Chains A and B, each alone.
Chain A
Amino acid sequence: MKSLAGAQLSRRSLLRGSLAVGAAAAGGELLGSCAPGRAPGTLLFGYYGSADELAVYKQVGDLYKKKNPHVKLEYTYADPLGFFQKLPLLFRSGAAPDVFMAAESWISGLAQLGGYADLRADLDRSGISESVWLPGALNAGKVGGKILALPVIVYPKGIGYNQTLFEKYHVPLPDPSWRQDDFLHAAQTITDQGRSDGVWGMNNSFGTTQPYDLVTLYGGMIFNYETRQMTATEPAVVNAVRFGRDLMRKYKVMPNAAQTQALLAGFPTGRFAMDIFAGYDMQPWDAQIGNKFKWNIAPYPREWRGTYQNNNVAISAKSHNRQAAWELAKFIATDPDAQQVQGQFATPAVRTSAQRWLTALPAKYSRLHWQPLLDRLHQQEVAYQGGEFTKVWDVMGQQVQSVEELGTDPMKAMQTVQKRGTSILSTQRI
Chain B
Amino acid sequence: MNAVSIPATKRPNASRPRHEPGGRRLILAGRRGLSAIPLYVPMCIAAVFFVLPFVWMVSGAFKSPSEILTFPPKLIPRHGTTANFSVATDTIPLGRYFFNSAFIAIVSTVGAVACSALAGFGFAHVRGRGRNIWFGILLATMMIPYYVTIIPTFSLYESLGWLNTYLPLTVPAFLGVGGGFYIFLMRQFFLGIPRDLFEAARIDGASLFRCFWQVALPLAKPALITVALFQFVASWNDFFGPLVYLSDSKMYTLPVAIRFFQGLHNSDFGPMMAMTCLTVLPVLLLFLTAQRFFVQGIATTGTTG
Asked whether any CB of A lies within 8 Å of a CB of B in the complex, the reply is: yes
Whether A29 contacts B163 by the Cβ 8 Å rule is no
> Of A1, A284, A292, which one neighbours B266 at CB under 8 angstroms?
A284
A8-38 to B contact mask, C-beta < 8 Å, 1/0? 1011000000100110110011001101010
Residues of chain A lying within 8 A (CB to CB) of residue B302: 3
Interface 1/0 per residue, A83-117 and B, CB below 8 Å:
00110010011010000000100000000000000
The stretch that binds B, out of A51-59, A211-219, A333-341, A409-417, is A51-59
User: Taking CB as reference atom, which chain A residue is nearest B243?
Assistant: A82
Q: Which of B163, B218, B263 contacts A7 (CB 8 A)?
A: B218
Closest to B221 in A: A10
Residue pair B218, A80 in contact (C-beta under 8 Å): no
Q: Which stretch of B149-157, B179-187, B276-284 is in the interface?
A: B149-157
Given A3-B10, A89-B150, A284-B266, A76 contacting B158 (CB threshold 8 A): no
Question: A385 to chain B: closest CB distance in Å?
Answer: 14
Tell me the minimal C-beta distance from A10 to chain B in angstroms: 7
The answer for the CA separation of A290 and B213 in the assembled complex, in Å, is: 65
User: Provided the pairs A35-B248, A103-B264 are in contact, do residues A25 and B170 lie with their beta carbons within 8 angstroms?
Assistant: yes
Residues of B within 8 A of A103 (CB): 264
A384 to B247, CA, bound (A): 29
| Contact (Cβ within 8 A) B154 A89 | yes
| Contact string against A for B residues 154-185, beta-carbon threshold 8 Å, 1 for contact and 0 otherwise | 11001001111111001100000000000000
Complex: A82 Cα to B261 Cα, angstroms: 12
* B218-256 at interface with A (beta carbon < 8 Å): 218, 239, 243-244, 247-249, 251, 256
Task: For chain B, residues 122 to 157, give those with C-beta under 8 angstroms from any C-beta of chain A.
Answer: 150-151, 154-155
CB under 8 Å from chain B, chain A span 92-148: 92-93, 95, 103
Given contacts A28-B103, A93-B158, contact A11 B213 (CB under 8 A): yes
Write the nearest CB–CB distance from A426 to chain B, whole angstroms. Answer: 26
Could you say which residues of chain A place their CB within 8 Å of the CB of B158? 93, 95
B199 at the A/B interface (Cβ < 8 Å)? no
Contacts A261-B69, A288-B66 given; indicate if A82 touches B259 (C-beta within 8 A): yes
Could you give, for residues 258-295 of chain B, a 1 whenever the CB lies within 8 Å of some chain A CB and a 0 otherwise?
Answer: 01111111111001000000000000000000000000
B254 to chain A, nearest CB (A): 13
User: Are A92's CB and B151's CB within 8 A?
Assistant: yes
* Contact between chains at B263 and A288 (CB < 8 Å): no
Select the stretch in A61-69, A264-272, A364-372 that faces chain B.
A264-272
Q: How far is A32 from B217 in the complex, measured between Cα atoms in Å?
A: 32
Residues of A within 8 A of B262 (CB): 50, 79-81
* Residues of chain B with a CB closer than 8 A to A206's CB: none
Closest chain B CB from A80 CB (angstroms): 4
Q: Is B194 in contact with chain A by the CB < 8 A criterion?
A: no
A284 to B68, CA, bound (A): 12
Question: What is the CA–CA distance of A8 and B218 in the complex, to the nearest angstrom?
Answer: 9
By beta carbon, the residue of chain B nearest A105 is B264
B214 is an interface residue with CB less than 8 A from chain A: yes
With A51-B91, A51-B92, A78-B243 as given contacts, are A29 and B65 in contact (CB-CB < 8 Å)? Answer: no
Supposing A32-B167, A89-B154 touch, asked if A280 and B266 sit within 8 A by C-beta, the answer is: yes
Distance in angstroms between the alpha carbons of A51 and B258 in the assembled complex: 10
Q: A3-B302, A11-B217, A35-B248 are in contact. Are A21 and B110 (CB under 8 A)?
A: yes
Counting chain A residues whose Cβ lies within 8 A of the other chain, the interface size class is 35 or more
B243 touches A86 (CB 8 A): yes
Q: Which partner residue on chain B sits nearest A93 by CB separation?
A: B158
User: Hey, which chain B residues are within 8 Å of A265, CB to CB?
Assistant: 68-69
The answer to whether A4 and B214 have CB atoms under 8 Å apart is yes
CB of A169 within 8 Å of the partner chain: no
CB distance from B44 to the nearest CB of A (A): 30
Binary CB contact string for chain B from 49 to 79 against chain A (1 if under 8 A, 0 otherwise): 0000000000000000110111100000000
* A304 close to B (CB within 8 Å): no
Report chain A residues within 8 Å CB of B264.
48-49, 80-81, 103, 280
User: Is B118 positioned at the interface, with any CB of A under 8 Å from its CB?
Assistant: no
CB B273 to nearest CB in A, in angstroms, measures: 13
Output the nearest chain B residue to A285 by Cβ-Cβ distance: B266
Inter-chain contact B114/A281, CB cutoff 8 Å? no
Q: Is B208 an interface residue (CB 8 A)?
A: no
| Residue B300, interface by CB 8 Å | yes
A95 to B157, CA, bound (A): 13
Question: Which of chain B's residues have a CB closer than 8 A to the CB of A1?
Answer: 10
Bound-state CA distance A44–B256 (Å) is: 20
Q: B301 in the interface, Cβ–Cβ < 8 Å?
A: yes
Is B119 part of the contact surface with A, judged by Cβ < 8 Å? no
Chain A residues within 8 Å of B87, by CB? 51
Q: A51-B271, A79-B260 are in contact. List 18 more A-B contacts (CB 8 A).
A: A1-B10, A6-B218, A10-B218, A21-B106, A22-B110, A32-B167, A35-B251, A51-B91, A54-B260, A76-B249, A80-B262, A81-B259, A86-B243, A95-B163, A268-B66, A269-B69, A278-B265, A288-B65
Write the residues of chain A forming the contact surface with B, with a CB cutoff of 8 angstroms.
1, 3-4, 6-8, 10-11, 18, 21-22, 24-25, 28-29, 32-33, 35, 37, 44, 48-55, 75-82, 85-86, 89, 92-93, 95, 103, 261, 264-265, 268-269, 278, 280-281, 284, 287-290, 292
List residues of B whose CB falls within 8 A of some A CB: 10, 65-66, 68-71, 87, 91-92, 103, 106-107, 110, 114, 150-151, 154-155, 158, 161-167, 170-171, 213-214, 217-218, 239, 243-244, 247-249, 251, 256, 259-268, 271, 300-302
Sample of 9 A–B contacts (CB below 8 Å) = A25-B107, A28-B103, A29-B167, A32-B165, A37-B164, A75-B249, A92-B151, A261-B69, A280-B263
